[in-house]
Chain A
């Protein structure tokens, strides 16, 4: 079975622009979660989607949004980019919500904001 894939792997943007990151979960997985990883803040939970519905959201401003499609693929959007948004963005998929199912992580998208 193919693992979680994320595209693009690397991205360079300038302040004020917007960006869309994509995550394709493992086949059959219906839950997709997003995380931001930075040296200063560590790993932080952004949000989780299950069956096209956002189930939970971390403590991030409204510039961070996401969605999930009927095939469980998910996109994350960041508008009006700031320098502090430079980070590794990880997505993880699982069969269901909650902790009953193991989360499998993708390789991440490295976003650099100049």
Chain B
């Protein structure tokens, strides 16, 4: 069974600064996907960034980038130039890559507060 760990329950960062959220996972699968989802106070889950395990290049989406270390099973999220709207719960998630239905495993989440 897969597990996802987020060791930082809460973090805070000053507006315009950079913050890194940690995520580690455990799996015996070789082909899988990793995600970071954001859940602001409005509660709507929003996909932040997605990484295919077979791709060595780290995914980037505007101010969001990941550091994917497959051997170490680590998948951290870096948020540059933090904005007040980045305040949210951030969930790291793992999904097997097969065509027999997905089985998402989420981490416990990191509550990020961006301070003015």
A-B CB contacts (within 8 Å), total count:
67
| Interface residue? A108 (CB, 8 A) | yes
> Which of the 9-residue segments B19-27, B76-84, B101-109 touches chain A?
B101-109
Interface string of B75-114 (1 = CB under 8 A from A): 0000000000000000101011111111111111100000
A45 B47 Cβ-Cβ under 8 A? no
Residue contact A43 to B100, C-beta cutoff 8 Å = no
Q: How far is the CB of A60 from chain B (nearest CB, A)?
A: 13
Complex CA–CA separation, A105 to B52 (angstroms): 20
Let me know if B45 and A90 touch, CB within 8 A.
yes
The answer to whether A104 touches B47, judged by C-beta atoms less than 8 angstroms apart, is: yes
Please name the residue on chain A nearest to B31 by beta carbon: A99
How many residues on chain B are close to A (CB under 8 Å)? Answer: 28
Task: Out of B44, B45, B102, B106, name the residue touching A48 (CB < 8 Å).
Answer: B102
Tell me the minimal C-beta distance from A32 to chain B in angstroms.
11
The answer on a CB contact under 8 Å between B101 and A56 is: yes
In the complex, what residues of A have CB within 8 A of residue B46's CB?
Answer: 105
Interface residues of chain A: helix, strand, loop or mixed (majority): strand
Interface size range of chain A in the complex: 20 to 34
- The answer, among A43, A92, A99, for a CB contact under 8 Å with B32, is A99
Extra contacts, 16 of them, besides A43-B109, A99-B96, A105-B45 (Cβ < 8 A), are: A42-B107, A42-B109, A44-B106, A45-B104, A48-B102, A50-B101, A58-B103, A92-B45, A97-B101, A98-B95, A98-B97, A99-B32, A104-B47, A105-B44, A107-B44, A108-B43
- Sample (29) of A-B pairs whose CB atoms are under 8 Å apart: A33-B102, A42-B106, A42-B107, A43-B91, A43-B104, A45-B102, A45-B103, A45-B105, A45-B106, A48-B101, A55-B100, A55-B101, A55-B102, A56-B102, A56-B103, A88-B43, A98-B96, A98-B97, A98-B98, A98-B101, A99-B33, A99-B52, A99-B102, A102-B47, A103-B104, A105-B46, A106-B44, A107-B43, A108-B43
B residues bordering A, Cβ < 8 Å? 32-33, 37, 42-47, 50, 52, 91, 93, 95-109
- Give chain A's interface residues, CB within 8 Å of chain B: 33, 35, 42-45, 48, 50, 54-56, 58, 88, 90, 92, 97-100, 102-108
